[in-house]
């Protein structure tokens, strides 16, 4: 009973600290990418390029600091009924700095730093049986601490390159159940956060009104693993391994082209994602436990299109209007009775408004961004084998305040 109590307590602890891929992969990072359908590899010349394309960091000309808040709500359904999903809320912090080198590197190097921090948790890992219906890519992906750091260099003749690293928090720990001299059982719980890393590298080329870029982001996963060992209880209890995948961003390649004429910018791009490497959310609990069914996810390609209009007046005030659309096919096959991993194709509409004003020697900015995702309805076998439908909607909105100087 003591071991069972520890397992139950551990389940509560895991649910309270955390999720399945990052919000940057879902929505983009920063107000420009969020409102431009996840695009911005060639057009976001600010700190947000740390995720979009670090090569664009080399185009920064002012120091930047930004603080934002983002909230995500879900309206998911299964079998015509509401499917419970936690709302997500997070703060974002962005910093950008042109490096003041002299000589050949003058005005050619920029660095950026980006944080995404949920307001209530650090990372969420759920331990659910594979036959339990679950939206594996939503909604836990919006709740995880993430850090991004990058540097960009202008090589001249229109070429820019950049590189950086993305980091995500995972969880590792152990529960030891022992007895003291009086025979009373006790437990000791030791957990710690473990960072995982992935590279991001990018290239950008500018020629006249045209810009083109390519970015590679490595596979990023954050696992949770807590072992439960009870060697002194007098009964043979195998070591329990409560483990799984809290977050997973597939390796991906993004291609983008942009055309800018006056105040108008048109962007189009494709993002290829290697979902076939997804190992699934669960791991075996003991060496004798059967392995969870393979998720059998497949690779996907996401098309994106966006338009932005921006006007800057002589008095330093500015206005920008942005909008876009993208279609993200699901990597998940139809569920089976033994593997109830639910996911849908998503059609997303995006929009945003930005305002800027000059104050002293600084420029102050306020940006809003909105995305509405419609999950295309899908039908497949339910837990008992009977056909069931699932789908829904999600909305993410953000407000960012920043200053450049």
- The span from the CA of 299 to the CA of 252, in Å, is 10
pLDDT band, residue 176 (cuts 50/70/90): confident
C-alpha 376/C-alpha 343 separation (Å) is 9
In this predicted structure, the answer to whether residue 160 has a pLDDT above a threshold of 70 is: yes
Enumerate domains of the chain plus CATH numbers. Answer: 2-404 (2.40.160.60)
- pLDDT tens for 246-286 read 788 999 999 999 999 999 999 999 999 999 999 988 776 66
**Per-residue pLDDT, 284:** 67
Q: Strand runs (DSSP E) across 208-340, as ranges?
A: 210-217, 220-229, 240-249, 252-261, 264-273, 300-312, 318-328
- The pLDDT, as a whole number, for residue 152 is 98
Classify 63 as helix, strand or coil: coil
Is the predicted pLDDT of residue 141 greater than 70, yes or no?
A: no
**Residue 362: closest CA among 66, 30, 47, 149:** 66
pLDDT of residue 11: 40
Q: Is the pLDDT reported for residue 5 higher than 50? A: no
The predicted model scores a pTM of 0.88
pLDDT digits (tens, 9 = 90+) for 79-114: 999 998 888 889 999 999 999 999 999 999 999 999
Residue 8 — pLDDT band, cuts 50, 70, 90? very low
Calpha distance 286→169 (Å, rounded): 25
Q: What is the pLDDT of residue 123?
A: 63
């Amino acid at each position: 009973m003591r071991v069972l109590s520890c397992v139950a307590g551990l389940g509560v602890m895991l649910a309270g600290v955390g999720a399945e891929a990052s919000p940057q992969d879902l929505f983009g990072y920063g107000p420009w990418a969020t409102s431009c359908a996840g695009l911005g590899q060639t057009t976001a010349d600010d700190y947000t390029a740390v995720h979009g394309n670090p090569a664009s960091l080399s185009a920064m000309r002012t120091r930047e600091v930004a603080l934002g808040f983002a909230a995500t709500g879900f309206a998911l359904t299964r079998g015509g009924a509401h499917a419970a999903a936690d709302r997500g809320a997070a703060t974002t912090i962005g910093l950008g700095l042109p490096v003041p080198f002299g000589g050949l590197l003058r005005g050619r190097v920029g660095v950026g730093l980006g944080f995404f921090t949920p307001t209530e948790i650090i990372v969420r890992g759920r331990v659910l049986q594979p036959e339990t219906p679950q939206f594996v890519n939503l909604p836990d992906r919006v709740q995880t601490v993430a850090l991004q750091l990058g540097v960009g260099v202008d090589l001249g003749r229109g070429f820019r390159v950049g590189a950086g690293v993305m980091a995500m928090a995972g969880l590792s720990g152990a529960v030891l159940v022992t007895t003291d001299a009086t025979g009373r059982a006790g437990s000791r719980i030791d957990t710690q956060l473990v960072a995982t890393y992935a590279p991001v590298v990018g290239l950008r080329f500018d020629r006249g009104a045209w810009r083109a870029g390519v970015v590679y982001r490595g596979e990023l996963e954050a696992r949770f693993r807590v072992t439960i060992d009870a060697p002194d209880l007098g009964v043979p209890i195998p070591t329990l391994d409560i483990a799984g995948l809290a977050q997973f961003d597939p390796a991906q390649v993004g291609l983008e082209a942009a055309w800018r004429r006056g105040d108008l910018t048109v962007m189009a791009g494709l993002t290829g994602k290697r979902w076939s490497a997804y190992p699934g959310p669960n791991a075996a609990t003991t060496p004798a436990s059967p392995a969870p069914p393979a998720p059998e996810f497949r690779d996907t390609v996401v098309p994106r299109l966006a338009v932005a209009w921006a006007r800057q007046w002589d008095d330093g005030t500015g206005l920008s209007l942005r909008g876009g659309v993208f279609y993200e096919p699901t990597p998940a096959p139809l569920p089976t009775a033994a593997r109830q991993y639910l996911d849908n194709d998503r059609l997303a509409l995006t929009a945003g408004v930005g305002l800027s004003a000059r104050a002293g020697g600084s420029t102050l900015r306020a940006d809003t961004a909105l995305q509405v995702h419609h999950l295309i309805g899908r039908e497949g076998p339910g837990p008992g084998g009977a056909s069931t439908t699932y789908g829904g909607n999600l909305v993410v909105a953000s407000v960012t305040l920043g200053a450049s100087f």
